[in-house]
Structure 1
């Protein structure tokens, strides 16, 4: 019997500069997520920090990761609201149909995506 995992993939890498390092980290995040999907694992993908800029880029038809991104869309649980505001990514997230999540209510911020809740629920949390 195959072991089923609960994996939360948190994408922090920045799409703004489109460096090889940033793109490679994103591709590795999507490759791991796709492996989890194919294995039937419980999977959650979130965009946090400057990673909130990625959905707008990944939604572009010409982007090299567009096809895998589209396959993984059902597993995207959202993007950090406060991070999206700080990184001027709200419009891109909204146009990509990604929910803004602020379930970690930090004073003075618009609500941050809670990573702790995944740990509390026994998920494996992997950051890229």
Structure 2
């Protein structure tokens, strides 16, 4: 059994950022497909900007995102800072704010998660 937290930090500015997002989604899906694994897909920092795009059904990676949507968590502070908090709320996505408005990476490590960043 493996436990992982996939953290998407890449913004939406470049083709390379899209590549990092897709690699993160694919990695999260691989964990989610294994019934013995646990995974959280955390959008943090500029990565929160992907939520409006991925919620759009016409996005190329919408289906992949939806396949692991139950694992998605968004940084509460960063969603507000990057102006996507309304969409996160409308989509009913869980937000994390344990560490001064941000998710607690330390808590994830303490719980046994491997942290993988994209």
TM-score (norm 2): 0.92
Q: Which aligned pairs between 1:73-88 and structure 2 lie closer than 5 A?
A: 73-76=69-72, 78-88=73-83
Determine the C-alpha separation between the residues in 1 that align with 2:74 and 2:17: 18
Q: 1:11 aligns with which of 8, 16, 28?
A: 8
Q: Give, in angstroms, the shift of residue 85 of structure 1.
A: 1.6
Greater C-alpha radius of gyration: 1
Q: 1:49 aligns with which of 34, 45, 49?
A: 45
Find the residue that maps to 1:103 and give its secondary structure.
coil
Calculate the aligned-residue CA RMSD, in Å. 1.1
TM-score (norm 1): 0.86
Determine the C-alpha separation between the residues in 2 that align with 1:95 and 1:20: 27
Unaligned 5+ segments in structure 2 are: none
Q: Give, in angstroms, the shift of residue 79 of structure 1.
A: 1.0
Q: Give, in angstroms, the shift of residue 50 of structure 1.
A: 0.8
Is 1:98–2:93 an aligned residue pair? yes
Determine the C-alpha separation between the residues in 2 that align with 1:47 and 1:60: 16
Is 1:38–2:33 an aligned residue pair? yes
Q: 1:24 aligns with which of 19, 29, 42?
A: 19
Contact 1:55/1:96 (8 A) holds in 2? no
Determine the C-alpha separation between the residues in 1 that align with 2:77 and 2:87: 14
Determine the C-alpha separation between the residues in 2 that align with 1:120 and 1:85: 27
Runs of 4+ in structure 1 deviating by more than 4 angstroms, as ranges, are none
Deviations 1:5-62 (A, max 9, x none): 00111111112x2x21111101000111111111221111111101111111101111
Counterpart of 1:114 in structure 2 is 104
Contact 1:56/1:95 (8 A) holds in 2? no
Q: How many residues align?
A: 117
